[in-house]
Chain A
């Protein structure tokens, strides 16, 4: 069964450092999503891509977060500089297209900022 891949699974960093997370969606899925999940809460959308274009980044803290999907396949989410409050699970999901509402999630990257 095809799955969404994410790496690393765990990341520990010190505040003010840069971190990057990688996501490879299910093959053929044009839409890719990054979510942040703070402990004890549900995931919240950070950014949504359709192919290589950003569809919605209204909740992305653009002063320190950036996301790209240069070739419309895999994607990278970066934080620079990391802050203590960024400690969370970062989840990637994909769907066939914008109007295909079922999203499939990867295993996530657990970020701890010290």
Chain B
């Protein structure tokens, strides 16, 4: 069965430092990949997505992610973190099924930003 692994439960970075959040997926074919962000007590906001084509995708809020098929990874990056980026980040994969599509999430990475 398809799965998504986010190996880092918590990450702390200083404001202005660079950020990389790791995501690995398990799926036989090329998946549809997503990163969502969730602020405390809020719903999920779509940051970016990868379907095909250029393996480096740009998203909102200055985030980008790179799809690496050989490593089954889709890591999220930001060159300079802002205090407002503190939130929980979820990597997800969509698998098309006979009846529709199913979004499977990782367990999330909690980002803390030190001022």
The number of A-B residue pairs with CB atoms under 8 Å apart is: 65
Majority SS at the chain B contact face: strand
Query: A42, A48, A91 — which one has the most chain B CB atoms within 10 A of its CB?
Result: A42
The 0/1 profile, CB within 8 Å of B marked 1, for residues 71-114 of chain A is 00000000000000000000101010011011111111010000
Interface size in chain A (residues, C-beta < 8 A): 28
Pair A91/B43 contact, Cβ less than 8 Å: yes
| Residue from the list B36, B44, B94, B99 in contact with A101, Cβ < 8 A | B94
Q: Which B residues fall within an 8 A CB radius of A?
A: 4, 32, 34, 36, 41-46, 49, 51, 90, 92, 94, 96-97, 99-103, 105-108
The 0/1 profile, CB within 8 Å of B marked 1, for residues 39-64 of chain A is 01111110010100001100000000
Instruction: Give the docked Cα–Cα distance between A69 and B12 (Å).
Output: 42
Which residue of B is nearest A31, CB measured? B100
**A31-B100, A42-B108, A99-B96 as given contacts; A107 in contact with B42, CB under 8 Å:** yes
Least Cβ–Cβ distance between A56 and chain B, in angstroms: 6
Which residue of B is nearest A43, CB measured? B105
Which residue of B is nearest A98, CB measured? B100
